[in-house]
Structure 1
């Protein structure tokens, strides 16, 4: 018997790797920003990955959000 993974409780969530640094994303509040950093779990009590997003307006405004809260708008590849 095969089961549908969605029904079985498996959730396909986005991960930090789905949001490369330099990508444009949309936050739950509707603001658009650029991914500037990835941050892993900070301690035994904080097990969540977070993505640091810097907004264009106002300059210097930033936020750290979990990947499943973001919507990818544009992937920008960074070359070095």
Structure 2
């Protein structure tokens, strides 16, 4: 007589929702594991003049969304010491 093994259960976990912030301060809840996202809609009146707007050669302008908990992209430069 053999023992029956219990059926295995596969648990699929949903990707966590993360809050992403644009340079203008607007926030979006996104289900993603990406470190930053390109936001291409440019749907707000100030988007064409936004200093955070990126205009790549050969592509549409976009804004990058970064996790709201992430440091500013240039924060690492704050402690940079230039040689005299």
Give your verdict on TM over 0.5.
no
> TM-score by structure 2 length?
0.27
TM-score, structure 1 as length reference: 0.28
Q: Would you tell me which structure has more strand in proportion to its own residues?
A: 1
**Greater length-normalized contact order (CA 8 Å, ≥ 6 residues apart):** 1
